[in-house]
Chain A
Amino acid sequence: MTDDHDGVPELLAAWAFGALQPADEKVVPLHLAGCESCAAEAERLRETVRLLDVPPGTAAAGNGSPAAAARNGSAAVSQNGSAAGVPGAGPLEASVVGGGPAGADGVLALALRSRPALPRVAEHAAPYAAAVAGLRALLREVDDGHGPWGTPVVHDWDVRDTVGHLIAADEQLAVRLGLETHTPPPRITGDTPWEEAWNTRTADVIAYERTRDPQETVDAWAERAAALLATPEARDPERAAHATTLMGVRLPVADHFVVRGFEAWIHTDDIGRALGLAVPPPPDAHLWRLVRLAVRILGMALGPTAPPVLFAVTAGESSTEWVLGSEDEAVRGELVLDAVDFCLLVGGRYTPDEVPRGMAGDEDVVRDVLERAAALSWL
């Protein structure tokens, strides 16, 4: 070895790049064999070039050759000056991000297929359609670490029973719109009071469903919900304008669809609580539709001579007010409820004493309104 290390240090970079002259090819390895410092430097430089060789996550997929990597690398080097210098930006990243709308639409379109699409229905059926979609999504978590089908939910029902109940509950509207009843055939006669008919039907359907696999119950419910949402009455507001009496209340068919949406959501919330999953409230537009119907029914139940109460319902930033009871005298009290809390009260999931509220004025009068609201619940 000479003082200048056989001239090898000056050659090491070229050697690492594979750019040696043929005449130098022997000199370098020979020197490296006997010189630790040059060997260490050589190793470091060689490793750097090896990494340059690794395609930096771009279109040179799987092709580790310097030429292929070079074509990508050199494009960045020679065309782009410093622009490609920032990690995470620039041409190297662009090809990974899946260039352009075509890529994006492809991924999205395929992803959307993983779940049944929301049926296109009229506005009055949208709360029900959305609630059905939400319940289907929730039920996919059952048995997946969130709790088995047998988890107790409400009354003496478990998760599966609750779904079975919904089959029975939806049936009244379904039959009125000309759809078929579920197995087993209903036992009820024409003059059975509607509450008894309701309870009997639920009991019979649940008993039947308990003989089947939970997934069969879910499928039966989902199928019948889809059929209900496919009726002309679900899709055409004019077809849903006429009134009919179901569950003891006479309302336009459109409003009966809203009631279906209300019930589906309340029971979804029940199941969510049982499984420890937070069920989001319905989207605002739907929530307000439920609220407005509930207020109308509450107003009807209170009647035109009840002591008037100013009733405000709030949801986030927005708030709406009604006067419940008589319109001929001054308001005797005020009541403020959050929209979701109001729905839970009407749905029988809050007692009048427990529901969070703001009150002012004659507390007895206001409490009457709360109790009347709670009494609406048939769920």
Chain B
Amino acid sequence: MPVEPTLHKSERPPADAELHQRLVYGDESALSEAYAAYGGLVRRIAGRVTNSPAAAEDVAQEVFAQLWSRPYAFDARRGSLRTWLSVIAHRRAVDWVRGEARHRKAAGADDSALHAIPDTGPGPDEAVVDRERSLLLHSALAELPQPQREVVHLAYFAGRTYRQAAVELGIPEGTAKTRLRSALRKLAETLAEPPDPAWERGA
């Protein structure tokens, strides 16, 4: 009976093929290694889509349970394990969000979250983009000059008026207003750039 020798040779980097082999044959240490290598990535993706650490953990558990119980669902000839896990994680996380929205809808709450998730394939949806932008903003905030950061901290996070902030910082009111303005404009400029596409790849 003729045999195709290429079925035994993998085109993928050795790491994936060897890991897959060990997963197929029931080697638990292979799953540990896969989790060590990709668990963070899976959780990050799930966390960004669901905005819930508890959901992210559930999704991670589902993803790695799938890898373990259905190792043949991953074909090393067709793509990397990293990509496969990312796609599964995104899909499961979107399912979770849709499930939650359906529950809320059934309970009579507004269904805007359900509509926010596109029905076709993985891709940024509004909620995810918002969360990514928020992360961008918080990062930019941390990079502001100290004088600006201080007044933003008091006026926004600590609920002071600009006059109270000025008093607490020992600066003139006008300075407080100006610093708030500079800070917020700087933050707004950060958003003028589109979110880094590398995020969606989980880089």
B64 and A140: CB pair below 8 A? no
CB–CB A84/B138 < 8 A: yes
B25 touches A283 (CB 8 A): yes
Q: List A contacts of B15 (CB < 8 A).
A: none
Does B82 belong to the interface (CB within 8 Å)?
Answer: no
| A11 is an interface residue with CB less than 8 A from chain B | yes
Query: Does A55 contact B131, Cβ atoms closer than 8 Å?
Result: yes
What residues of A have a CB within 8 angstroms of the CB of B65 in the complex? 110-111, 113-114
A98 engages B57 (CB within 8 Å): yes
User: A93 and B8 in contact (CB under 8 A), knowing A77-B141, A354-B2?
Assistant: no
Let me know if B25 and A87 touch, CB within 8 A.
no
CA distance A114 to B191 in the complex (A): 43
Chain A interface category by residue count: 35 or more
B-chain residues with CB within 8 Å of residue A77 when the two chains form the complex? 138, 141-142, 149, 152-153, 157
Known interface pairs A81-B142, A83-B142; A57-B51 also in contact (CB < 8 Å): yes
Among B61, B138, B165, B191: residue with most chain A CB under 10 A: B138
CA distance A262 to B20 in the complex (A): 20
The verdict on B97 contacting chain A, using a C-beta distance below 8 Å, is: no
Residue from B24, B40, B61 in contact with A137 in the complex, judged by beta carbons closer than 8 Å: B24
A21 engages B163 (CB within 8 Å) = yes
Contact of A19 among B5, B156, B191 (CB under 8 A): B156
Given A115-B26, A137-B24, A280-B21, check contact A66 B156 (CB 8 Å): yes
In the bound complex, residues from chain A placing their C-beta under 8 Å from that of B61 are: 106-107, 110-111
Q: Is B137's CB within 8 Å of the partner chain A?
A: yes
Q: Binary interface profile of B, 31-43, with partner A (CB < 8 Å = 1, else 0)?
A: 1100110011001
Do B72 and A138 touch across chains, with their CB atoms under 8 A apart?
yes
Measured between alpha carbons, how far is A106 from B131 in the docked complex, in Å? 27
> When the two chains form their complex, are residues A283 and B51 in contact, meaning their CB atoms are under 8 A apart?
no
Q: Given A84-B139, A117-B28, A341-B5, do A48 and B188 touch, yes or no (CB 8 Å)?
A: yes
Number of interface residues of B (CB under 8 A): 89
A97 touches B43 (CB 8 A): yes
Q: How far is the CB of A34 from chain B (nearest CB, A)?
A: 21
Complex interface: chain B residues within 8 A of A344 (CB): 3
Check A98 against B184 for contact (C-beta < 8 Å): no
Would you mind naming 23 contact pairs between A and B with Cβ atoms under 8 Å apart? A14-B162, A17-B180, A19-B159, A21-B161, A52-B137, A54-B133, A55-B134, A56-B131, A56-B135, A61-B54, A74-B157, A74-B158, A76-B142, A77-B138, A84-B138, A95-B53, A98-B39, A107-B64, A114-B65, A133-B25, A141-B73, A350-B1, A354-B3
Instruction: Check B8–A84 contact: CB distance below 8 A.
Output: no
Complex Cα–Cα for A162 and B34 (A)? 32
B44 CB to closest chain A CB (Å) equals 6
- Give the Cβ gap from B147 to chain A, nearest Cβ, in Å: 13
Asked if B70 contacts A137 (CB within 8 A), the reply is: yes
Cβ of B117 to closest chain A Cβ, rounded Å: 16
Contact residues in A for B181 (Cβ distance below 8 Å): 9-10, 12-14
Q: Can you list the 9 inter-chain pairs with the closest CB atoms, starting with the nearest?
A: A133-B26, A70-B157, A19-B155, A280-B21, A111-B64, A96-B47, A114-B65, A114-B69, A56-B135
By the criterion CB–CB under 8 Å, are B8 and A281 in contact? Answer: yes
